[in-house]
Amino acid sequence: MRHWTPAELAEHLKTSEPLQILDVREEWEYDIAHLEGSTLLPLGQLAGKMAQLDSSREWLVVCHHGIRSAHACYYLERNGFQVVNLTGGIDRWAKEVDRDMLLY
């Protein structure tokens, strides 16, 4: 599994094609703060709804601090997906890149 820091993600978003972003937090967390264009699929529902995700695309996986997203990345990799984990999650993104984003 690859890992990107928030700064690496910000640079990628400026210079490269848009990413498929998978947010594995709960809906109430997503409602507080999320990355624009991300797909919400809580970790507890991932196994049952994984078929809805395009396995031919690379996915950036995000959660609050990077732990749930790492678990999701391991699971997705075992099932043929190419994934990148956002180190530090949405919390670190808000602190280092988007300081207007709400923290919780």
Q: Where are the domains of the chain?
A: 2-96
pLDDT over 90 at 102, yes or no:
yes
Residue 45 DSSP one-character state: G
- Using alpha carbons, select from 98, 99, 61, 94 the residue that is nearest to residue 77: 61
| Angle between the N-to-C axes of helices 6-15 and 89-96, in degrees from 0 to 180, rounded to the nearest 10 | 70
Mean pLDDT of the 20-25 span: 98
Average pLDDT, the chain: 96
The architecture in CATH of the region 2-96 reads: 3-Layer(aba) Sandwich (3.40)
| Predicted pLDDT of residue 19 | 87
Please state, in angstroms and rounded to a whole number, the distance separating the CA atoms of residues 34 and 12: 17
| Close Cβ partners of 48 (under 8 Å, ≥ 6 residues apart) | none
What pLDDT does residue 17 have? 82
50-70 tens-digit pLDDT: 999 999 999 999 999 999 999
Distance between CA atoms of 73 and 54, rounded to whole angstroms?
A: 14
Residue for token pair 């670190």: 92
Pairing of strands 20-23, 39-40: parallel
pTM for the whole structure: 0.95
Q: 6: pLDDT confidence band, cut at 50, 70 and 90?
A: very high
